[in-house]
Amino acid sequence: MNSLYVDIAATDGGSFKVYLTSSDAENAPGLVLMQYICGVNAVMRSLAVDFAAKGYLVAVPDLFWRQEPGIELLNDPSKPNQQEQARALELNEGFNDEAAISDLQSTITYLRGHENCSGQVGALGYCLGGRTAYLVATRTDADCSVGYYGVNIDHYLAEADNISNPLMLHIAANDELCEPEARERIVRTLKKLSPVTLHEYEGAGHAFALVGGHNYNEAAAAAANERSYEFLAHHLA
């Protein structure tokens, strides 16, 4: 497995770092992994390696670079740290969706042009990255996208009709960061759209797929991950 950091130019000036990893397979589909609110930390790098082992050319962009480049928080989810959690929440509050989606489109374009990429590129994200997965579907040319327990997707439901490529969302039925009314609006709006696949996980809370996290739900995580693997394999073939 080969991993390195590369720099990608931002459309509004400056550049951001991307953790890039692959198994050196030729003609591999590209996958943009989108972070929790803790930056490109050990969790995200480990996930990138896992997906690379499945044959993807994986890019994990630093979406917090405009606030604090290279920030890594809560590298071990089983060891809570109140100071780091507070900083993560601050970074989340200062997050600019529009700028992030521009960076994500730049990352998608970078992968499409990579010598080892097939030209097909998908995106997958968790929490904050779950929301950007939805926005990737409404605003970019990614071939497909997957979101886990995205936060505040309901703020952007007016964009739903822009979705033309496949989108899969994993919804935690007991997500403490998504009010039941918001969850109902999301499901009601998106279930009518043919490119969208929704899966709801009863008894699962926010970040149910985060291994070591306090809400980790092994059964829900296994089901969601298997569905994601099949979805990506089908749409990025």
- The residues carrying an active-site annotation are 175, 206
In DSSP terms, 32 is beta-bridged to 59, 123
Listed in order, strand segments (DSSP E) in the chain are: 2-9, 15-22, 28-34, 57-61, 117-126, 144-148, 167-172, 196-201
Positive or negative: CA dihedral 168, 173, 177, 180: positive
Non-local (6+) Cβ contacts of 200 within 8 A are 171, 172, 173, 187
The token pair at 131 is: 């929301």
Q: Is 98 exposed, middle or buried (0-12, 13-18, 19+ CB in 10 A)?
A: exposed
